[in-house]
Amino acid sequence: MSTDVKTAALEQRIAPNGIKLPIYMDNHATTPMDPRVLEEMLPYFMEKFGNAASRNHPFGWAAEEAVELSRERVAKLVGATAKEIIFTSGATESDNLAIKGVAEMYKEKGNHIITAVTEHKAVLDTCKRLEKYGYRVTYLPVQKDGVVDLDDLRRALDDKTILVTLMAANNEIGVLQPLAEIGRMCRERGVLFHSDAVQAVGKVPMDVNQQNIDLMSITAHKIYGPKGAGALYVRRKNPRVQVSAIIDGGGHERGMRSGTLNVPGIVGLGKACALCMEEMPKESCHIAGLRNRLRDKIMSRLDEVFINGSMEHRLPGNLNISFAYVEGESLLMGINDIAVSSGSACTSATLEPSYVLKALGTGDDLAHSSIRFGLGRFNTEAEVDYVADRVCETVERLRELSPLYEMAKEGVDLKSVKWQAE
């Protein structure tokens, strides 16, 4: 398809009931920018365009002032102090800096790192690289509901452990880990605790002191801010944490992250955090209501539908469901005026089904049948109702096409069939 045709698909159309199409329900992948964030950023492109490190003139001072305000705003959202916030290009960089930076800085103390199998690739791939350098990494399993077993963590900690890195909320299934307990366990043993909190910040309350967190990765584009702007929280007290820089060149950000600051992006990150700070309690409640409405509408109309991951410990906007006997990509095709994602192998570049769903013990067949909905600030009840209807009618249609549904209805136990795989 030519570029014109691809972007034409993004052009807005209006559905019969007045809803604007396409509908965006993939807020775990990224979020639309809040207009208030954009407004806050604009002056820093053309008028207040100075380099925040230019100490000698008003252009620099204005930029620096904006950066410092953002620093305060980010810190406030997570219960930290401004000096503890380092700006980066995003959460992937923050994860790299936290993990590699600690590994390098504390290598005399030990070489063991603990993480979990359901972490984001930015964490997993960084750990894999450290293994090549001779570090030892333990990948904890998760329970069926997606939560790490604290006993597993306790058993894995040893006297060479220097870092535990566990995400606050999972990007695929939205499951929340018990951060305060994990942090306490680490603190008792003098082990640093890093959390990739990208999906959680701004959506559920985060507090680095209450949760005993020493390092935390944050990004703007999951909270209605710009892409390319993130932060790493690095604790300064009780204990004082240090990380070796992974980018050298000028010593910016207290020597931890060199490079000219992305002032407009940082301003956007700060504003996004400030808005979350104000609006989070009401917004989370509202979004959870929408998510539950979507779930209830789907589950009351369809049978053999399974939610992946704990509903109790979950982000308010996340719904990850498997529709038995229907493959995920074919379902997405049928709802092509709705943007969501799937754990099916067919939707991934590598043809591997979701490793997160696999870690839950979900069979590959149900992993192939999964859809992830990510509701956000700009979704409406009317959109939820429309999506529920479209999903249900598409599943019903595809089940008519499905040999597996037919066999299941005939009473065949699919697990006992000897499949002739290609």
Partner 1 sequence: MAYSDKVLDHYSNPRNVGSMDKGSLDVGTGLVGAPECGDVMKLQIKVNPQNGVIEDAKFKTFGCGSAIASSSLATEWVKGKTVDEALGIRNTDIVKELSLPPVKIHCSVLAEDAIRAAIHDWKKKQGVAETAAPVGTRASH
Q: Does 420 bind partner 1 (CB under 8 A)?
A: yes
Count of residues interacting with partner 1 (CB under 8 A) = 34
> How would you classify residue 212: left for phi > 0, otherwise alpha for psi between -120 and 50, otherwise beta?
left
Asked if 222 is part of the footprint of partner 1 (rule: CB under 8 A), the reply reads no
Residues 22, 181, 363, 385: which binds partner 1 (CB under 8 A)? 363
Q: For residue 372, which of 118, 27, 122, 31 has the smallest C-alpha distance?
A: 27
Segment contacting partner 1 by CB under 8 A, of 1-9, 26-34, 54-62, 126-134: 1-9
Between 107 and 397, whose beta carbon lies closer to partner 1? Answer: 397
The residue with tokens 């006997």 is 325
The residue from 368, 375, 379, 395 that contacts partner 1 (CB under 8 A) is: 368
Quote the CA–CA distance of 164 and 172 in Å, as a whole number: 21
- Output the smallest distance, CB 422 to partner 1, in A: 5
What is the DSSP track for 82-127? GGGEEEES-HHHHHHHHHHHHHHHTTTT--EEEEETTS-HHHHHHH
Kindly state the helix (H) or strand (E) to which residue 370 belongs, with its residue range: strand 370-374
Between 87 and 325, whose beta carbon lies closer to partner 1? 325
Could you write out the DSSP letters of every residue in 51-67?
Answer: -TT-TTSHHHHHHHHHH
Active site annotation includes 346: yes
Stretch (H or E) spanning 301: helix 263-301
Provide the minimum distance between the beta carbon of 299 and partner 1 in the complex, in angstroms, as a whole number. Answer: 21
- For helices 381-400 and 263-301, give the axis angle rounded to 10 degrees: 50
Angle at 112 between CA 107 and CA 113, to 5 degrees: 105
Reduced to 3 states (helix: H, G, I; strand: E, B; else coil), residue 136 is strand
365 binding partner 1? (CB under 8 A): yes
Closer to partner 1 by CB, 134 or 411: give it.
Answer: 411
Q: Which tokens belong to 204?
A: 């559920």
Contacts to partner 1 from residues 328-347, by CB under 8 A: 328-330, 333-334, 344-347
Q: In whole angstroms, what is the distance from residue 25 CA to residue 130 CA?
A: 35
Q: Of these, 316, 353, 374, 376, which contacts partner 1 (CB under 8 A)?
A: 353
CB of 116 to partner 1, least distance (A): 24
Q: How far is the CB of 166 from partner 1 (least distance, A)?
A: 29
Under a CB-based contact definition with an 8 Å cutoff, are residues 294 and 372 in contact?
no
Cα 170 from Cα 28, distance rounded (Å): 9
Q: Which stretch binds partner 1 (CB under 8 A): 83-91, 251-259, 286-294, 362-370?
A: 362-370
* Residue 21 touches partner 1, criterion: CB under 8 A: no
Nearest distance in Å: CB 118, partner 1? 20
Q: Which of 279, 304, 364, 389 binds partner 1 (CB under 8 A)?
A: 364
Interface characters, 266-305, with partner 1 (x: CB under 8 A): ----------------------------------------
Options 11, 240, 351, 411; binder of partner 1; rule CB under 8 A? 351
Instruction: Please name which of 147, 154, 161, 162 lies closest in space to residue 116, comparing C-alpha atoms.
Output: 147
Candidate residues 82, 117, 247, 404; the one interacting with partner 1 per rule CB under 8 A: 404
What length does the chain have?
Answer: 422
Rounded to a whole number of angstroms, the minimum distance from the CB of residue 346 to partner 1 is 4
- Both structure tokens of 36: 């208030």
In the complex, the smallest distance separating the C-beta of residue 357 from partner 1, rounded to whole angstroms, is: 12
Q: Is 349 in the site for partner 1 (CB under 8 A)?
A: yes
In contact, 232 and 247? CB cutoff 8 Å: no
Q: How far is the CB of 410 from partner 1 (least distance, A)?
A: 10
What DSSP character marks residue 224?
T
Catalytic residue among 127, 276, 285, 346: 346
Catalytic machinery residues:
346
> Where along the sequence are the contacts to partner 1 (CB under 8 A)?
1, 5-6, 325-330, 333-334, 344-347, 349, 351, 353, 363-365, 368, 400-406, 414, 419-422
